[in-house]
Amino acid sequence: MSTTEKQRAAQLPQKMEPRNDGMALDLDWVASVQANTSAIERRAKTLPARRSVKKDHQAAWLLRAITCIDLTTLAGDDTAGRVARLCAKARQPVRQDILDSLGMGPITTGAVCVYHDMIAPARAALEGANIPIAAVSTGFPAGLSPFHLRVREIEESVKAGADEIDIVISRRHVLTQDWQALYDEMRSFRAACGEAHVKAILATGELGSLRNVARASLVCMMAGADFIKTSTGKESVNATLPVSLVMIRAIREYQERTGVRVGYKPAGGISKAKDAITYLALMKEELGERWLAPDLFRFGASSLLGDIERQLEHHVTGAYSASYRHAAG
């Protein structure tokens, strides 16, 4: 890999993006937001075909994608041992011989994402590493537990050492257009997070329309979300390019009006290296290169890393290895 490509792959911001303090709910702004579904879908269809990169350029984009992965395990049978193995993979996501062949130094994933009970094992496994721990919260994935318990869950996860909290919104507030209720809920969750960053999971596959996705994105940002995230990964429809385009443009409009950068996290169903490159290209085209860094962009994924490492090995050796050689943990 050329020196320029290595520098681009390793280039990260020197500090975290400042927190989003939010703003007063502007219902006129919310009501003005529309979504032209046919135009959005046409634009989304052009991305995979037109955004193809090869050789060293592809390797550099894939290395950048790794640094933006929230390496995730959210299974009912999670154990401390499984989380420890996942954290070991987060600390060294690519085999050393592959990195050496690419002329790259150490890299890590953007974060590790777990349930509340797995925060302590993750902290122990990541001691000394500058890798954030994200915890899903607020009655994940449905978000239908009593409100005071959802707030308390956030507080307990922050107390346990979570650096980031992935909350789920109440979908009914979006479906009934009760934007004040959604705003107030998000403000409460934001306050409970304290210094921890908060990602608002919209569960876009359950919101009914792209217009609802756009408006919910805007309301959550007004209420102080540091990231907006597509899905829990548990819905029947998760991250898609049309939904991503809508959410990214809401982020752009919010930044243009307030000067505040909000991050984006597509989650669920992103498992192929080529898809990661497509999402990175979309971020660069719509928001600019500043959003190609882990403090403003994350993939919520568990299997994506394995395919990326497999593609990097092919780049180095010219041969594909079996997928089991690149286990997540």
State the catalytic residues: 166, 229, 265
CA max distance for the chain: 57
Task: Give the contacts of 226 (CB within 8 A, at least 6 positions apart).
Answer: 17, 19, 20, 197, 198, 199, 262, 263
Residue spans of beta strands (DSSP E) within the chain: 69-72, 111-114, 133-136, 164-168, 197-201, 227-229, 263-265, 299-301
The closest of 11, 29, 17, 100 to 296, measured between CA atoms, is 17
Gap between the Cα atoms of 71 and 250, Å rounded: 26
The Cα 198–Cα 190 span in angstroms is 7
Residues 6+ apart with CB under 8 A from 104: 1, 6, 9, 10, 63, 94
Cα–Cα dist 79/162, whole Å: 18
| Phi and psi at residue 25, to the nearest 5° | -65, 125
Q: What is the DSSP letter of 60?
A: H
The residue among 225, 150, 138 whose CA lies nearest residue 187 is 225
Q: Cβ(251)–Cβ(228) under 8 Å?
A: yes
